[in-house]
Structure 1
């Protein structure tokens, strides 16, 4: 719970300096982030998704090739699909991108506004906030045997009662194990916890 409060506080601070929103992919591994935070306008998000811009986005390319922060106007990354010009049409005229972490678990975040370039101070603040989010969301390197067994049962299709019986524990004990696994993996649902455990090769 304390971690979630810290994450929410960091996102509130980031939102305060990003009037046109932000997007953060946290701990990107094999092209998929552990979690994302996105407050961009829905019209832009829909357009971006429909055009499959994710793997062609200059901010993503910069984020995987550099660590630090940069204004969009200073990235120097080719944009043959005109993604940045299209973003400007949706109000994301000025922005900055932050990249942090090892290449095997990279966090990349962008902030945007429509009225002016971000100041150095604003970019430095965004960089510190995104670095904190990277640290707060560091994935667990292990699960307990009890947590693994509980997740394995649910992953195999067992309902709570059947899984509890299989493990020789009460249904409330099973739910407690699943809940603790979700917290450790920072997952909102058991299905998400199972997927993350698989991604981290814990299952």
Structure 2
């Protein structure tokens, strides 16, 4: 992931924001290198709920220059961004609506060229692909992870759902394998991060 982010950084002199696998209005991974003053204003004014770039990225797949986005901006988000040097930019969006990746890049001196836009799109696709959340867990795996996460020891968790301790351990092992986790604690953390439980 780092090499893709480094390429974005080289493409975007005024910074970038990458929201990877946005599910339920929250990204699995978020990184922004825009100027800190802009990030502070953006957060303080809840611009993520008002930003036409975000609206475009959620509703469309593909790439577009900021100047070509034909959406209302009643809060003047793009004007305030321009005041902070983010005058030209591109937004690229990919993935299903239920797990969208949106990347925005900016510069202060000129519009992005078509080859640069193609590279931003390729980087967004690459970030989306390498950060793909694991497949869904079965209800049995979720139940086992939840009980362990609630502090039940294996014996007590197994008794709680009426199975043997070895059956519980098998469910936990399957969950670890599906998530690519080394330990049950890591599997539990990942399942929560991916909103699988």
Change (3 A) 1:55 1:123: same
- 1:64 CA drift (Å): 1.7
1:173-196 residue CA offsets vs partner (Å, 9 max, x unmatched): xxx999878755xxxx77752422
* Rg larger in structure: 2
Name the structure 1 match of 2:106: 112
Unaligned runs of 5+ in 2: 159-164, 167-172
Is the 1:150–1:163 contact (alpha carbons within 8 Å) kept by the matching residues of 2?
A: no
Q: Quote the Cα distance in structure 2 between the aligned partners of 1:89 and 1:134.
A: 31
Give the unaligned 5+ runs of structure 1. 1-6, 170-175
With the length of structure 2 as denominator, give the TM-score of the two structures: 0.78
> Of 89, 104, 117, which aligns to 2:83?
89
Q: Distance in 2 between matches of 1:196 and 1:26?
A: 13
Residues 76-101 of structure 1 show CA distances to partners (whole Å, capped at 9, x for unaligned) of: 11111000000011111111000111
1:112-131 equivalences in 2 (<5 Å): 112-131=106-125
Q: Is the 8 A contact 1:150 1:177 kept in 2?
A: no
Instruction: Evaluate the alpha carbon distance shift between residue 142 and residue 15 of structure 1 in structure 2; reply closer, same or farther with a 3 A threshold.
Output: same
Whole-angstrom distance in 1 between the partners of 2:105 and 2:174: 38
Aligned residues: 185
Q: In 2 relative to 1, CA 195–11 (structure 1 residues): closer, same or farther, beyond 3 Å?
A: same
Corresponding residue SS for 2:31: strand
2:135 touches 2:178 (CA, 8 Å); kept in 1?
no
Structure 2 residue corresponding to 1:55, chosen from 49, 52, 71: 49
TM-score w.r.t. length of structure 1? 0.76
Query: What pairs with 1:1-203 in structure 2 (closer than 5 Å)?
Result: 7-142=1-136, 151-153=145-147, 155-157=149-151, 183=180, 192-197=189-194, 199-200=195-196, 203=197
Is the partner of 1:36 in helix, strand or coil? Answer: strand
> Following the alignment from structure 1 to structure 2, what is the Cα–Cα distance between the partners of residues 164 and 21?
52
